[in-house]
Structure 1
Amino acid sequence: MSEPILSVESLSVSYGRVEAVRDVSFSVPEGGMVALVGANGAGKSSVLAAVSGLMRPGKGTVRLDGRDITRWPAHRRVGAGLVLVPEGRQILGTLTVAENLALGAHRRRAQAVPAGELYELFPVLAERRDLPAGALSGGEQQMLAIARAMISRPRVVLMDEPSMGLAPKMVDEVFGVIDKIRASDVTVVLVEQNARRALRTADTGHVLETGAIAHSGPASELLKDPKVVQAYLGVE
């Protein structure tokens, strides 16, 4: 197995006196995929906020390709190839689809994916490239958020709840895109409320409970672990 491209060591995150994440550690090999699952409020999104640079952890270390990036600002992490697809999409609704994508390439223009190549991966965006992003459906906006991250040709993509609020058909399309991203050897860290779907897609899974990792292992084994199934997955 290759060396980790992303390592998180003993990470702790607090909001005032409330500790949201406690001593979380995991790593991802280049081209691999890790799923972080758990109940709402378990600390999953706070982990991604700290890894992406949107929050400063109280303790712990984040390494990208062996470099300590814990104190790097978010834009420097993007420039190094680590990008976040945020919960709630956070697209710019008054700008067109094409303009949103252009903004995604800002920090890594030299590495940017040609627009035509990106539209092949996201054909619905090609059809709507000149429309304001706010006119897209929720599923189309999620595709735009993912495409905006991918245009910078990242090495690591952090995805925060990409299927939230989407119809089942669009959920299938989003996970289809995630599969294509993995096939291109991009490393993925996925936070997802649909725990079963996330674990079916990932190599490794970590189950968070009240800010700490309660279960870890190969995703295929977590899917069969009676404790994980009973507490987090339920009966199909």
Structure 2
Amino acid sequence: MSEPILSVSDLHVNYGRVQAVRDTSFDVPEGGLVTLVGSNGAGKTSVLAATSGLVRPRSGRITFLGQDVTRWSAHRRVSAGIVLVPEGRQILSTLTIEENLQLGGWRRRQSGARIGQMYDRFPVLAQRRRQLAGTLSGGEQQMLAIGRALVAEPRVLLMDEPSMGLAPKMVDEVFAVIESVRAEGVTVVLVEQNARRALTVADTGHVMETGSIAHSGPANELLEDPRVVKAYLGME
């Protein structure tokens, strides 16, 4: 069996005295789609923040393509191919769509071609490329955030709550994009509160509770696991 493209090993993340993540380990196979699901405050976002380099873990190890990247800066990880689509989108609202996409490619040569590909993928962005990003709808802003990340040519795309606050039709569009990106060979790690939807598209799922992984397995099996259904799927 080939080595995973990304491994998180015995991860612990603290914010001051508050322990957000503890004893968390999982592997991500190249080309796979792995999801972390769970309730608010379970530690999902903190795992992605540590993986992307936005926070320094208290202990543990993050390995990418066989290299220990635990102490790498966030921008070095982006250059290597670990790219985050953050929770809340975090686009630059006073810049245009095109300027936001250009920022996604600041570490890449010939990013103009990648931006052109994003306009092909998201025609609504192409039509409004000179419009200020802050004037877009929530769904359009999410497409821009995904496009900005894809301009950086990720090997592993980390996605934090991409469907948050979106209308059902736009949620469908976001998940269609996630599946198409994965089909193109990009490895995806998806954090989602919409557990049923996330497990439906994923290969493997990890259910987080109070900072650690409580259940793991093939996503289709977790969808049928009575413990997971009762805790996370019963009301959906």
Q: Is the Cα–Cα contact under 8 Å of residues 86 and 159 in structure 2 kept in the other structure?
A: yes
After superposition, what is the alpha-carbon deviation per residue over 1:54-101, rounded to whole angstroms, capped at 9, x for unaligned?
000001000110100000000000000110000011100111000100
- The answer to whether structure 1 residue 145 and structure 2 residue 137 are counterparts is no
- The answer to whether structure 1 residue 215 and structure 2 residue 183 are counterparts is no
- Structure 2 counterparts to residues 167-182 of structure 1, below 5 A: 167-182=167-182
Letter in 1 for 2:102: A
Taking structure 1 as the reference length, the TM-score comes to 0.97
Identical-residue share of aligned pairs (%): 72
CA drift of 1:127 comes to 1.1
Structure 1 residue runs of 5 or longer lacking an equivalent are none
Provide the secondary structure at the position in 2 that maps to 1:4: coil
Q: Is the Cα–Cα contact under 8 Å of residues 102 and 111 in structure 2 kept in the other structure?
A: no
CA drift of 1:3 comes to 2.2
CA drift of 1:234 comes to 1.0
CA drift of 1:15 comes to 0.8
Letter in 2 for 1:215: H
Provide the secondary structure at the position in 1 that maps to 2:102: helix
- Structure 2 counterparts to residues 220-231 of structure 1, below 5 A: 220-231=220-231
Letter in 1 for 2:153: R
Letter in 2 for 1:207: V
Q: Is the Cα–Cα contact under 8 Å of residues 6 and 64 in structure 1 kept in the other structure?
A: yes
Q: Residues 14 and 150 (structure 1 numbering): CA distance in 2 closer, same or farther, change over 3 Å?
A: same
Letter in 2 for 1:46: S
Q: Which residue of 2 aligns with 1:123?
A: 123
Q: Which residue of 2 aligns with 1:48?
A: 48
Provide the secondary structure at the position in 2 that maps to 1:63: strand
Give the RMSD, CA atoms, in angstroms. 1.2
Structure 1 segments of 4+ aligned residues over 6 angstroms from their partners: none
CA drift of 1:18 comes to 1.0
- The answer to whether structure 1 residue 7 and structure 2 residue 7 are counterparts is yes
Letter in 1 for 2:214: A
- The answer to whether structure 1 residue 18 and structure 2 residue 18 are counterparts is yes
Provide the secondary structure at the position in 2 that maps to 1:166: coil
